[in-house]
Amino acid sequence: MLKRFNFLVSTIIICFLFLGFSYKGEERYVKVRRVIDGDTFVIENGSKKGERVRLIGIDAPETRRTARKEIGYYGVEAKEHLQAMLTGKNVKLVFDVGKKDRYGRLLAYVYLREKFVNAELVEQGYAVTYTLTPNVQYADFFVKLERQARQAKRGLWK
């Protein structure tokens, strides 16, 4: 009985530690080295390769063919737009609950001065809403922007 109790208490403590740990609201200022595609870019971090950042809550069409995906309609335009907006610029990364994805990329909401980059890409039709838990802070907002872009036939909705 005591072993079962100890196990239960240990399990509860571990759950509280994991559930209570969040990066939400943490900010970091960085310089953008290069853009990979319409929703991913590389930042300076002192290493030769830099560090990859994936924009939370959105998905831009693919810009290159892989084993699993084809080049997407409006993918090149999305990449070019993000390149023009971010390359060489200093941006603010704001984290939600989860800080990295399964590929080791930082997951962030990105701001260029006062411009909310994630929202801008959806609003202009360069990306669609793509929300994965636990990072859902702006999910409803992105859905609204995507609906407006679709109705106005902007970007990939032409």
Q: How far is CA 112 from the centre of its chain?
A: 14
Question: Which is catalytic among the residues 4, 26, 33, 54?
Answer: 54
| Residue whose tokens read 């971010």 | 86
Residue 146 annotated as catalytic: no
- Exposure string over 103-141, b if 16+ CB within 10 A, otherwise e: eebbbbbbbeeeebbbbbbbbbbbbbbbbeeebebbbeb
User: Are the CB atoms for 142 and 128 separated by under 8 Å?
Assistant: no
Question: Which is catalytic among the residues 52, 62, 120, 123?
Answer: 62
β-pairing, 51-55 with 115-116?
unpaired
Question: Which is catalytic among the residues 105, 120, 123, 146?
Answer: 105
User: Are the CB atoms for 40 and 3 separated by under 8 Å?
Assistant: no
Residue 51 annotated as catalytic: no
Helices H / strands E in the chain, number of each:
4, 8
Residue 113 annotated as catalytic: no
Q: State the catalytic residues.
A: 54, 62, 105
